[in-house]
Amino acid sequence: MSELMNTIGDRRDFRWQLLATVSAVALLGSVYAAGEAKAADGDSDHPTVWIELGGQLERVDSGEERFAPPFILASPRPGPETISPLSLERDPRYSTGLEGKISFEPQDTDWVFSAAVRYGRTNGNKHVHQQSYPRSFPSLGSVFGKVLAAQFIDTKAQSDGSDAVLDFQAGKDVGLGMFGASGSSTISLGVRFAQFSSKSNIMLKSDPDWHFNYRDFGSVIFPPFPLATRHHFPFGQIFHTNEGSVRATRSFRGVGPSLAWNASQPVLGNRQTIDVALDWGLNAALLFGRQKAAVHHQTTAHFHPYLYLFKPAYTLYQHSADHQRMRTLIVPNIGGFVGASLQFVNAKVSLGYRADFFLGAMDGGIDTAQKENRSFYGPFATISIGFP
């Protein structure tokens, strides 16, 4: 009971700390911005509020451990198998999502205050059934010659996940070198919050070795006769059935300080009307958070020496396990982007490529903990509108 109360208390403390940190940053930014705006006595040549909306298609690498029960790796293999079940267990490769950002640039200052959010989702549903189609034994009719099973392997893999990244930053255009005149170079400090979650459900079934069990009754009943092979026919059908499944829920939630450098340099156009600019940036953060994993898996194997008079079945192997893991850790986060934008006086359209790596954020193991990186990289596009 005490451990449960401590866990609930830790969650509440974590949420309150996050809320307090974010509120403090927002309050300080608002107070400072209000003071600067009040002190300004002239109109600026750029908007003070920017709203940015966009979307991204990102490749996701999670590195979760593959579920490989003994019958998947053992021999014999199902005759019709052409696609490996392990290849179907891979999480969805791409995440699609939306992003938004609001920035406040006080007049007559080089300061920028911003709040940004990125949200993405992944989902996958795969089902592959690979099977042989044996023929009945024609000379025995529909009863004794009927096929009772077949070699097959069946794989079902369902998964879905979500990722969210929130940034609250205060930055200043430092105007380093070539960026001072027509470009910008902004260094920002702030707070980053990240949350990742994934669920998977995998089911495997197989019969790797179905076959007729042939007996030659002629060689026993009529040993002197050379035509005894005429009495060679199947006496039963032998096969194995294997089943395995795993259900896993994994998550990470963390918050911590962040540092970012964003730069833009016009290369074509007139600064007073329209520009084509190159954009790039780097970001880093240390996220203090909690990593969780809940995994249940089970495996069963049966042997069926099916005869025509009786049908005994034997359980050869049966195993199940449940694992609940949770730990507190620090996750380093590094990333960057490069792109190009078409800039107007009060609008901007941007295209680019972004990468973000969260090192050791997820527990991708099944029976034991296994740190795995959560990586996102891919193209994005945004549209920004400025307001006076």
- Residue 33 phi, psi (nearest 5): -60, -40
Q: Is residue 228 part of a domain?
A: no
Q: Is residue 298 part of a domain?
A: no
User: What is the number of structural domains in the chain?
Assistant: 1
| Nearest one of 298, 293, 337 to 321, comparing CA atoms | 298
CB 244 within 8 A of CB 71: yes
What pLDDT score does 34 carry? 39
Q: Is residue 155 part of a domain?
A: no
Q: Cα separation of 236 and 140, whole Å?
A: 12
Stretches where the chain sits below pLDDT 70 are 1-45, 138-145, 176-181, 215-233, 271-272, 307-311
What pLDDT score does 217 carry? 60
Q: Is residue 240 part of a domain?
A: no
Q: Is residue 269 part of a domain?
A: yes
Q: Is residue 311 part of a domain?
A: no
CB 262 within 8 A of CB 352: no
Find the domain containing 266 and state its range. 2-134+160-199+253-293+325-387
CATH number reported for the structural domain that contains residue 190 in this entry: 2.40.128
What pLDDT score does 138 carry? 64
pTM of the model: 0.79
Q: Is residue 41 part of a domain?
A: yes
| Nearest one of 96, 84, 97, 83 to 53, comparing CA atoms | 97
What pLDDT score does 272 carry? 67
